[in-house]
C-alpha cells in the first residue's frame, strides 16, 4: 500500500466485477476506505464475480470496506446510497466513481421505451443523482473527485456514406446516454471549479475485455482492439486524484496516461511488467 488515498472515502458503483471491482480494489490498495455498490450481492448466474467477492478481495488491505445492494435503475433505491455509504465509512464521500451502466444493443426501429428508460436511468440519472448527493459534502470540504465511466460510442457516425461496423446503430441508445453523461460531466466540472471539486469522465481508447464486455461483444473484438484492465484502471485512478486543470474533461484512457506520463501499475498499486504496463 502506498497510502496515496489514505483517509479518503470512496464510493464505487457497478463493483461486482470488471472495471468497477478493479477500481475499488486499487483504491483500497492505496489506502482508501471504500463502499462498493451493485444490483445483487451474489452476482448473476450468467457472469462471474459478485459484490461479496469484491468485498472479500478488498478486505486484505485492512481499510474500511462496505457494500450496498441497490438497483441503480430504481430512483427510490439509489436515493439512499450516499447516506448509507457515509454511515458505513464514518464521513462524507471524497471520491465517487460512477461505473455502473446498462448496455442494451438493439436496432432503433423497434427499441422499446422501457429499455430506453432503463438505459437512461442507469447511465444518466443515477450518476447525476449520486453526484448531487455527494456534492454538498465535497463543497464543504473544499475538495472532491467525481469520475464517470463513459464510452467512445458517444461520438456521432460520420457520413454519409456511413461505414458501420458491429454493433453499428444497435448501440445508439446506449451511446446517446453516454453523450448525455459527457455533457453533464463537463457542466459539473465548470460549475464546481471554484469549490475544489473535480468532475471528469474517462472512456477506454480500445475495448477492455471485462466479463460484461466479453458477454456482449467478445466474439467481435480483435486483439489489436484491446487495452488491459490495468491501463483503464490507471486512468480512472489518475482522475480520482486529478488537479484543477483537468476538471470537466472527457478523457481517453491511454491518451490520458501518455499526457500525464503515467505507466499502468498492477491492481495492487505495484509495478507491472509486460504489455499491460505500457501507456
Task: Assess whether 25 carries a catalytic annotation.
Answer: no
CA-to-CA separations, 29 to 2, 108, 198, 265, in angstroms, rounded:
8, 42, 22, 12
β-sheet with 65-69: strand ranges across: 65-69, 33-38, 9-13, 95-98, 144-149, 197-203, 250-252
**How many Cα atoms sit within 13 Å of 54 on the Cβ side?**
35
E strand or H helix at 208 = strand 207-208
Task: Assess whether 174 carries a catalytic annotation.
Answer: yes
Closest CA to 132 of 178, 90, 96, 179: 96
Q: Which of 25, 57, 105, 178 is catalytic?
A: 178
Closest CA to 234 of 251, 257, 252: 257
Closest CA to 18 of 43, 94, 9, 1: 43
Active site residues per annotation: 174, 178
Amino acid at each position: 500500500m502506498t497510502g496515496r488515498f489514505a483517509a479518503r472515502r470512496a464510493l464505487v458503483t457497478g463493483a461486482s466485477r470488471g472495471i468497477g471491482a478493479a477500481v475499488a480494489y486499487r483504491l483500497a490498495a492505496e489506502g482508501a476506505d471504500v463502499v462498493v455498490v451493485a444490483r445483487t450481492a451474489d452476482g448473476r448466474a450468467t457472469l462471474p464475480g459478485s459484490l461479496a467477492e469484491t468485498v472479500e478481495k478488498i478486505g486484505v488491505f485492512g481499510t474500511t470496506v462496505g457494500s450496498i445492494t441497490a438497483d441503480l435503475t430504481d430512483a427510490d433505491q439509489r436515493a439512499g446510497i450516499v447516506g448509507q455509504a457515509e454511515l458505513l465509512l464514518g464521513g462524507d464521500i471524497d471520491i465517487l466513481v460512477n461505473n455502473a451502466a446498462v448496455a442494451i444493443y438493439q436496432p432503433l426501429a423497434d427499441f422499446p421505451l422501457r429499455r430506453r428508460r432503463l438505459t437512461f436511468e442507469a447511465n444518466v440519472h443515477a450518476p447525476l443523482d449520486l453526484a448531487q448527493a455527494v456534492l454538498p459534502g465535497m463543497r464543504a470540504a473544499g475538495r472532491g473527485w467525481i469520475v464517470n465511466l463513459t464510452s467512445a460510442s458517444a461520438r456521432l457516425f460520420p457520413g454519409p456514406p456511413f461505414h458501420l461496423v458491429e454493433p453499428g446503430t444497435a448501440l445508439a441508445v446506449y451511446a446517446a446516454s453516454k453523450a448525455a453523461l459527457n455533457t453533464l460531466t463537463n457542466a459539473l466540472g465548470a460549475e464546481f471549479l471554484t469549490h475544489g471539486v473535480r468532475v471528469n469522465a474517462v472512456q477506454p481508447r480500445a475495448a477492455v475485455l471485462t466479463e460484461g464486455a466479453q458477454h456482449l461483444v467478445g466474439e467481435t473484438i480483435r486483439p489489436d482492439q484491446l487495452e488491459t484492465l490495468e491501463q483503464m484502471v490507471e486512468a480512472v485512478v489518475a482522475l480520482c486524484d486529478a488537479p484543477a486543470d483537468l476538471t470537466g474533461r472527457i478523457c481517453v484512457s491511454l491518451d490520458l496516461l501518455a499526457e500525464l506520463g503515467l505507466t499502468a501499475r498492477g491492481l495492487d498499486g505495484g509495478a507491472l511488467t509486460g504489455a499491460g504496463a505500457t501507456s
